[in-house]
């Protein structure tokens, strides 16, 4: 099985040596996405930040020939679990039933001082 690297013009540029996503077989593995929109990091509003992470994931999945409807697993990294309900509410707006599996983990810190980062595994259409 070969690996195909995905680069998405709509998503923020990687801040390190990694790809937006990789396709292996019929699975798309999206790297963790920070809350960036139009080149600006969202560090204050966790609801907006979650939405920006999800929008970036959606763009990358589209570039890979998939979509959020094909997502099978997401991992959410939070620096403050007290914000879980706000994150959950914002996240939920991106799905209509048939939700993917998910993990939410509290971490000590995230890159560039953000409060949320999300990665994804999806099926390629």
pLDDT, tens digit, 9 for 90 and up, residues 82-95: 999 999 999 999 99
Long-range (24+ apart) CB contacts under 8 A made by 55-60 are: 56/10, 56/11, 56/12, 57/30, 57/33, 57/118, 57/119, 57/120, 58/94, 59/8, 59/10, 59/11, 60/6, 60/8, 60/11, 60/20, 60/21, 60/30, 60/33
Average pLDDT over residues 20-47: 97
pLDDT, tens digit, 9 for 90 and up, residues 64-115: 999 999 999 999 999 999 999 999 999 999 999 889 999 999 999 999 999 9
Q: What domains are defined for the chain?
A: 3-123 (3.30.1330.40)
Q: Which pTM value belongs to this model?
A: 0.96
Average pLDDT over residues 35-40: 95
Q: How confident is the model at residue 14 (pLDDT cuts 50, 70, 90)?
A: confident
Question: How much is the mean pLDDT over the chain?
Answer: 96
Q: How far apart are CA 30 and CA 85, in angstroms?
A: 24
């Amino acid at each position: 099985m070969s690996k195909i690297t995905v680069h998405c013009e709509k998503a923020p540029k990687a801040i390190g040596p990694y790809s937006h996503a990789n396709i292996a077989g019929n699975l798309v593995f999206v790297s963790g996405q920070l809350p960036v929109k139009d080149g600006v990091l969202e560090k204050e509003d966790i609801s907006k930040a979650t939405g920006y992470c999800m929008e970036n994931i959606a763009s990358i999945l589209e570039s890979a020939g998939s979509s959020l409807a094909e997502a099978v697993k997401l991992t959410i990294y939070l620096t403050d679990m007290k914000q879980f309900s706000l994150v959950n509410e914002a996240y939920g707006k991106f799905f209509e039933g048939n939700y993917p599996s998910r993990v939410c983990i509290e971490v000590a810190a995230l890159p560039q001082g953000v409060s949320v980062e999300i990665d994804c595994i999806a099926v390629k259409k």
